Structure 1
Amino acid sequence: MTFRINRRYLQLMRSNAPALLPVLRSRLQAGILATLLLSPDMELSLTDLAKRVDGSMGGVHNEVERLEQAGILTSRQVGRTRLVRAGASALVEPLTRLIELAFGPQQVVAEEFGGLQGVAEILIYGSWAARLHGEPGAEPRDIDVMVVASTEQSADRADVYAAADRAEKRLAKAVNPTVVSAKRWATQSQDDALLQEISTRPVVKIPLAATENEA
């Protein structure tokens, strides 16, 4: 499944070491690796890659050059267009796993939760969302997911917990789902401490799978 990474997420990748994986040289590098390694079948021109990661052509070109020299990325020329994709180096598999553990919750949650029936909205909140938005701190030990059900009874909780279990196995982190109704989320009563906290902190909105009518 190819996943289009959130633009806000990529804007945070342009400079400085990313808070989620500070061993990487820059947020731009992290954005390029997350875009291409987490979607290994994707092949992008430098122009399209620069748009995806919201970086300059020069900066993207330099990062691609370094990564291609290491075999982490590979490219081919089609006319005047240089197309880039994940490489075949022995480094790619373990690096992809690191990238998935650090930046993958957005993709994994989308894949495991995005197709649930009766769901109006899905959000990641808590420490992982805060780190993605650039807040410093310790490595997130778990992933907090809020599933907003279309009605009180529309989302099957068994399906939600099954999706959380699948995501946990892929991410090697606890995935904690919370199911609330769309009415409760829209109201956000002052007496509802959890929703008040979520609404005032960084969140990452997860795209829902297209319905048959939308496809």
Structure 2
Amino acid sequence: MGGTDLRAGTGTGQVQLTMRRLGHALADRLCPPPTSGCLAAMRASASIKWHRRIFHENDVMIHFMKEGSAVLLPLLRSRTQGDIIAWILLHPEEQFSLTEIGRAVGVSGPTVMREVDRLAEAGLIREERRGNQRLVSADTANPVFGPLAGLMAVTFGPVPVLRELLADVPGVRESWIYGSWAARYAQQPGPVPGDIDVLVVGSADLDVLDEVAQSAGQRLGREVNMRRVRPSAWDAADADPFKATVTSRPMVALIGGEGR
């Protein structure tokens, strides 16, 4: 197969196959019947949780990658885990299907299922079946709910909370979190962020944005700073020092736009 380089990453939505399924598919390609011994060995190896392992077989190099622990909260295995837990716990009155959770946090269905299974085993969520849908919600009666929801709010809370609060604000064309929190979310090491910087591109009323900032700050336990830029100014400001600085660093999309 001439030096093909197959790379797999987890937790960022770039891969739609789990590590096990990827290993099975590669094993079937590299070890066609009747070499069942090689197939069984590769399938066993594929279930190991490697941080990084490279091996060669028939001139094929395979990279297995595992997302590192979350910089925002190193107690968690990954940023993806934090996103999913925060989305569920910070919307305690709502039920979500696994598809809705995956769409909200930008990860694959198998990843959501794996994390939800763990939450269910720990008794942190309630589950309900409606036809083929599996609906989940936070178990607010669990004594761990309050402390854990508070911890998720001050670490992974800005995205779900600010998306919720900005969703109904008229005149918001695009919005991002930038600054130190966005850098930690992007897995860049550094001190714990002291506040949350939010950029809004649009014509939204400044008083309304101030109310959003105050409400978000109360829920997140951090100061939230809103900066509004008119669309015409933002679109024409390629040489502006503020825009150049902001766009050269991590940005986490809230409304419209894309993360950077």
TM category (shorter chain) comes to 0.7 to 0.9
**Residues 183 and 81 of structure 1: CA distance in aligned 2, closer, same or farther (over 3 Å):** closer
1:173 aligns with 2:226: no
Tell me, what secondary structure is at the counterpart of 1:110? helix
- Structure 2 counterpart of 1:103: 156
Whichever residue aligns with residue 180 of structure 1, its letter is: V
1:148 aligns with 2:197: no
- TM-score with structure 1 setting the length: 0.74
CA deviation vs aligned residue, 1:2-61 (integer Å, no higher than 9, x gap): xxxxxxx9649x83211111111333432331232122344445566566662463x655
Range with greater deviation from structure 2 (88-97 or 41-50)? 41-50
Superposition pairs of residues 25-36 of structure 1, within 5 angstroms:
25-36=77-88
Whichever residue aligns with residue 86 of structure 2, its letter is: A
Matched pairs, number: 193
Tell me, what secondary structure is at the counterpart of 1:206? strand
- Structure 2 counterpart of 1:212: none
Give yes or no for contact 1:10–1:31 (8 Å, CA) kept in 2. no
Give yes or no for contact 2:176–2:255 (8 Å, CA) kept in 1. no
Whichever residue aligns with residue 139 of structure 1, its letter is: V
C-alpha separation between the residues in 2 aligned to 1:188 and 1:49? 35
1:158 aligns with 2:211: no
Whichever residue aligns with residue 116 of structure 2, its letter is: V
- TM-score with structure 2 setting the length: 0.62
Whichever residue aligns with residue 136 of structure 2, its letter is: V
1:187 aligns with 2:236: yes
- Structure 2 counterpart of 1:201: 249
1:125 aligns with 2:171: no
Q: Unaligned regions of 5+ residues in structure 2, if any?
A: 1-10, 15-65
Tell me, what secondary structure is at the counterpart of 1:89? coil
Q: Shift of the alpha carbon at 1:71?
A: 1.6
Give yes or no for contact 1:112–1:167 (8 Å, CA) kept in 2. yes
CA deviation vs aligned residue, 1:55-97 (integer Å, no higher than 9, x gap): 463x655543432232212334556664433223111121112
**Residues 50 and 158 of structure 1: CA distance in aligned 2, closer, same or farther (over 3 Å):** closer
Tell me, what secondary structure is at the counterpart of 2:68? coil
1:134 aligns with 2:187: yes
Whichever residue aligns with residue 245 of structure 2, its letter is: E
C-alpha separation between the residues in 1 aligned to 2:132 and 2:165? 39
